Structure 1
Amino acid sequence: MTVENISSTNLNTLTKKTIQIPIEENFICLRSLNPKRTRFEVEYSLEKGSCTNSFLFKSTKDEHSKSHDYILIHPPGLTFEKEFLEEFETLISSDSSAINLVMGHINPNKVAFVKKMNVKYKNLTVICSNPGAKLFKEIWNLRKPSQNTNPNEALETVEVLPNIQIIKQLETLSLDNNFEIDFIPAPTARWPGGLIVFEKHTGLLMSDKLFGAHVYEEKWAELNSSSTEEERRHYFDCLMAPMSTQVNSIIEKFEDFEIDTIVPGHGPAIRGSWRSLLNNYQSWGESQKYSNLRVALLFASAYGNTAAIADAIARGISKTGVKVKIINCEFTASDRLVTEIRKADGYLIGSPTLGGHAPTPIVSALGSLLAEGDRGKPAGVFGSYGWSGEALDLLEKKLKDGGFKFGFEPIKIKFSPDPLMIKKLEETGIQFGKQLINSKLRQQRKANVGLNTSKSDPTINALGRVVGSLCILTAQKGDEDNLINGAMVASWVSQASFSPPGITIAVAKERAVENLLHKGDNFALNILEQNNHQSLLKQFLQSFKPGDNRFTDLEIKLSPSNQPLLNEALAWLEGTVSQRMECGDHWLIYAEIKHGKVIKKDGVTAVHHRKTGANY
């Protein structure tokens, strides 16, 4: 099964499993595969399955003949506990020698897996970076509230902490069989305990979070650079874009290594095209680098839920072209925190509630924000909670009492967000980013004394004479419990091919529906009638709040692939996205048309006439 021929239909026929992929003698990749959406976070939203790469060195000794027995690099999360341990036991019995676990990053899902492994394999040593060790200990000792109990009921027992070996800087470990491992600390705001591993003999860079893609792929490596480019770009936009400066600093370190192949924590290996992927990572972050608007996003996260909320909001803000500076308050010095607050045009602060309180780093960050923040700039509060949400109430009250205005209502989510909430969070981020942009535009108009330079540009005016059909693009995906839909008015539409029949549609990057228009996704194009289009335009041009249903009070039917069809349309087309091209502030979508029908044979297509090419 390869990325090129995976579809939502045949994904349903696949099973969750862990497979072995031999790299060299005594060096194995253990790939855990899931055809379904593995977790709720925004980076899984393409719903093309996922795979997680772990690496095992068997029966190894270092240059001093000290036995390391087994080294497991980047173990999976608890999601793959059953499948991974069943496969792992075929290689190593539970009464075997010491096992060293190299943790590429630390989160509650990973720590929960180590706890399960610690029951079966008693002689474990965790190898991680210095910040990773701190975070590992904190998560290990956390007692997570049950969703089925109340605070007065008994909580889970805390297990004995395994041995921890700390990597403080670049270190090399020589093994038998000519293997030699470099441990490379790679901290980012999102993963302060980041640790990348490079094996010199094979030239294999085990990059963990960097260069990932969530796809179901059994083959060791991708077919070519284009086969997973869209999935890697989506992964970058969801997770890496707000940290692009830190990510580029890590990438620069790779020039010192003789890399042959890169294998990320998620997705197939990258062989011949890894240099172009490094270049892509640097170019994809350019819009963030040069943005003249920035948001300081301060957060701490105990169980990973608040971090997932932060990722979704940051993803939405980034889509508007506004720079997001993610700041993990637990690992950020106070002077740097103050610097980022002073630079920001907007502030977001997120917190879990632990024992009825906000974590100490968040309380300190709140104090810095109250002391250094500009009351004329918008703020926002978000976070998750288990039994109660006192931390979020505290943040909201202190900011309100301090004179801050909110860009959105405080977001308080019990436990973890579901896919529908992730979509709402992303739309909230888009809305917040647009607020900053519109505020900036108003300031510029005042400075220009009302002169609109674009309307006086003859080239832009000539561009406005290009006309297009007025249409409503509709799309939806997911199952009954997590059905996500969206819609937008589209007039930049054109037929693009005869065979196969195809069209192109330009979609602004900040459109909420854009996330439903990736390769393989289906949608419907409802073409409007000249004499009967005003009511539909009024419906879909209104200002929607994040999470609002675009189809409220409308009668709709469904296309063969369950896409919404509007009864008042002149005609409809159903298409499948085949290609996407980045065009400045828009994505150009090429879709192959699968079905269609003219509803009103005597009707005339509504056409959108403009006087300027500076706006729609």
Structure 2
Amino acid sequence: MSVINTSSLLENKNLSIFEITENFICIRFLDQNKERFELEFNLEKGTSFNTFLIISYNDFFIIHPPEKEYSKLINEVISNFHDEFKFNKINIITGHVNPKIIETIKLISVQFSNLTLTCSNPGFKLISELWNQKNPNLKTFIERELPVINIVKKELYLELENISLKLIPVPTARWPGGLIIYEENQEILLSEKIFSAHLASEEWSETNRMSTEINRKHFYDCLMAPMSNQIVSIAEKISELDIKTIAPLHGPAIEYSLKSFLNDYIRWGENLSTNNSKIVLIYASAYGNTASIGDALAKGVNRTSVEVESINCEFTSNDELIKSIQNADGYLIGSPTLGGHAPTPIVSALGTLLSEGNRDKPVGIFGSFGWSGEAIDLLETKLKDGGFTFSFDPIRIKFSPNKPKIKELEEIGTHFGRKILKKAKQKIRKSDTGMISSKTDPTLQALGRVLGSLCVLTASKGKDENNVKGAMLASWVSQASFSPPGLSISVAKDRSVESLLQKGDSFALNILSEKDFREPLKRFTKPFSPGEDRFEGLDIELTPNDQVIIPESLAWLDASVKERMECGDHWVIYAEVLHGNILKSDSLTAVHHRKSGANY
């Protein structure tokens, strides 16, 4: 892989250009923005958008055009190549379809009128709906005639000059227009959203598997997990191809241990497809805002080990919807408001839920809107009149959620999942025929004798309106190293603060005193409502890294997360201690005594 050095475009620091082979090029648009609010950007490592260009005879192919923020750059790129190759026609191949990509395609069509689009059948439906629909998130609106569109209904081969492309539709609930592309000569897979990671990487490929694994797993957990069955099927299909390189839509290419990586993707999905409780998440999303709300709720539910099945009702048959509703232990349904109404597919799905849904199972509704929220009102009224019980107040968000709202949505999802689990456990207890209780299991009793310091972990991330805080009571804490000074903490997967403890994040460990632990114990063991301020009314101070020190602490440590390891229903976090202080030298550390290793 070589970087093209002759182009003046390389003077732009937000752009990297890689020559895959002659006349086959990757343009990587770099975004160093660390304060994006979307769920999957929580690692705050920026991102990149990979677009691919092919020059073949008199045609110029653009595969995976970027979003609107890069439209000026992509037009500059096209102009540079046009000056050199004098092509007559532009062919755009796209699977990922959203309003921002539509705007980019429109801007290209303004500059180059001889343009053809190639997409899947669901992609065609999305493009047709969005092409002249005004997006309230965008200040400008370009009205253009719909270009000529080639529809890929099954696998399609394109034989170009020294390049052989296989176009493979891969529809999913989140991205129904999904279209991956396999170049047979170079054995490279352009995998679109699948296998992506949000990293602003200037290198063509990752240095090794471990260097990006946590980023790819985070992306998977945020967006792929609710449709794990579909993703497993796609990964199994891809594994049959001879692949040397996977180049996703976001992040560096993958060239090392590809078979192992594909196996991991399949394993992650299969681990979610268990006999655990399940909820069905039904939605439609015109501009992606309602889908973002659903993503956050789903991530929160998944933390509790409850499985989420995501269904985009615009692209799901009624028979599939009925089956999912009948097999679910709870329901989430979300809708945008378009022109004062809910989209027709949501109205139809609502009718199916009313006729097939179990009134004894909890339901939650959500939606986004631009000027009004009639669709959410419709969902609320119909389900309430239909005898359903709401697990939480209807979620109404104007346009898109910010970072604190995303975290609150995750917490709502976790609360929803816990209610499902609580109901499932009640059924198990009723059917228990006298098995030995964990309270009398000698192994668990012995495990409970392992002691830990009683602490309050606090974490703060982001600035101003993007600031998010969290806290939890922690007793599974231990010093882990001398040089550098380090400690390990075990954090349950369903803890809200877990999302603030990614590699590179900072936190404070407030070690409690045996004399003064009761007040913080009472505060931080009581359940918090989603979005509730954990520190309201406290006279707090801050560490050098702006982490929260709570009153009554015996001592505090300011630490940075270096490693994370998944261990059953917990994450074990190793952190390097950077700062610390003793606040009460005349007191001893509070210790947590347990009778059983089956619970806290």
Structure 1 residues 84 and 442 mapped into 2: Cα distance closer, same or farther (>3 Å)? same
Q: Once the two structures are superposed, what CA deviation does each residue of 1:288-309 show, in whole Å capped at 9, x if it has no partner?
A: 2014201011000111110111
Q: Which residue in 2 is equivalent to 1:520?
A: 504
TM-score by length of 2: 0.95
Amino acid at match of 2:100: N
**Greater alpha carbon shift after TM alignment, 290-299 vs 114-123:** 114-123
Q: Which residue in 1 is equivalent to 2:93?
A: 102
Q: Which residue in 1 is equivalent to 2:229?
A: 245
Alignment of 1:125 with 2:116, yes or no, is yes
Q: Give, in whole Å, the separation in 1 of the partners of 2:505 and 2:252.
A: 21
1:15–1:35 CA contact under 8 A, matched in 2: no
Q: Matches of residues 259-278 of structure 1 in structure 2 within 5 Å?
A: 259-278=243-262
Q: Give, in whole Å, the separation in 2 of the partners of 1:549 and 1:40.
A: 19
1:188–1:243 CA contact under 8 A, matched in 2: yes
**Greater alpha carbon shift after TM alignment, 444-453 vs 220-229:** 444-453
Q: Matches of residues 159-558 of structure 1 in structure 2 within 5 Å?
A: 159-176=144-161, 178-448=162-432, 453-558=437-542
Local SS of the residue matching 1:226: helix
Q: Give, in whole Å, the separation in 1 of the partners of 2:344 and 2:434.
A: 48
1:570–1:598 CA contact under 8 A, matched in 2: yes
Match of 2:67 among 59, 70, 77: 77
Post-superposition offset of 1:603: 1.2
Q: Which residue in 1 is equivalent to 2:46?
A: 49
Runs of 4+ in structure 1 deviating by more than 4 angstroms, as ranges, are 93-96, 449-452
Match of 2:16 among 14, 19, 41: 19
Aligned length: 589
Alignment of 1:112 with 2:103, yes or no, is yes
Q: Give, in whole Å, the separation in 2 of the partners of 1:452 and 1:125.
A: 68
Amino acid at match of 2:450: V
Q: Give, in whole Å, the separation in 1 of the partners of 2:598 and 2:151.
A: 55
Local SS of the residue matching 2:372: coil
1:472–1:487 CA contact under 8 A, matched in 2: yes
Q: Once the two structures are superposed, what CA deviation does each residue of 1:262-301 show, in whole Å capped at 9, x if it has no partner?
A: 0110010110222221111112223320142010110001
1:287–1:321 CA contact under 8 A, matched in 2: no
Structure 1 residues 309 and 347 mapped into 2: Cα distance closer, same or farther (>3 Å)? same
Amino acid at match of 1:91: F
Amino acid at match of 2:90: I
Structure 1 residues 455 and 54 mapped into 2: Cα distance closer, same or farther (>3 Å)? same
Structure 1 residues 146 and 210 mapped into 2: Cα distance closer, same or farther (>3 Å)? closer
Amino acid at match of 1:321: S
TM-score by length of 1: 0.93
The RMSD of aligned alpha carbons is 1.8
Specify every segment of 5 or more residues in structure 2 that has no aligned partner in the other structure, as ranges. 1-10
Q: Once the two structures are superposed, what CA deviation does each residue of 1:550-576 show, in whole Å capped at 9, x if it has no partner?
A: 111111111111111113200111111
Q: Which residue in 2 is equivalent to 1:612?
A: 596
1:291–1:322 CA contact under 8 A, matched in 2: no
Specify every segment of 5 or more residues in structure 1 that has no aligned partner in the other structure, as ranges. 1-13, 62-66, 149-154
Structure 1 residues 187 and 379 mapped into 2: Cα distance closer, same or farther (>3 Å)? same
Post-superposition offset of 1:449: 7.5
Q: Which residue in 2 is equivalent to 1:3?
A: none
Q: Give, in whole Å, the separation in 2 of the partners of 1:580 and 1:269.
A: 23
Post-superposition offset of 1:451: 7.3
Percent of aligned pairs with the same amino acid: 53
Q: Give, in whole Å, the separation in 1 of the partners of 2:239 and 2:41.
A: 30
1:17–1:84 CA contact under 8 A, matched in 2: no
2:60–2:87 CA contact under 8 A, matched in 1: no
Post-superposition offset of 1:207: 0.3
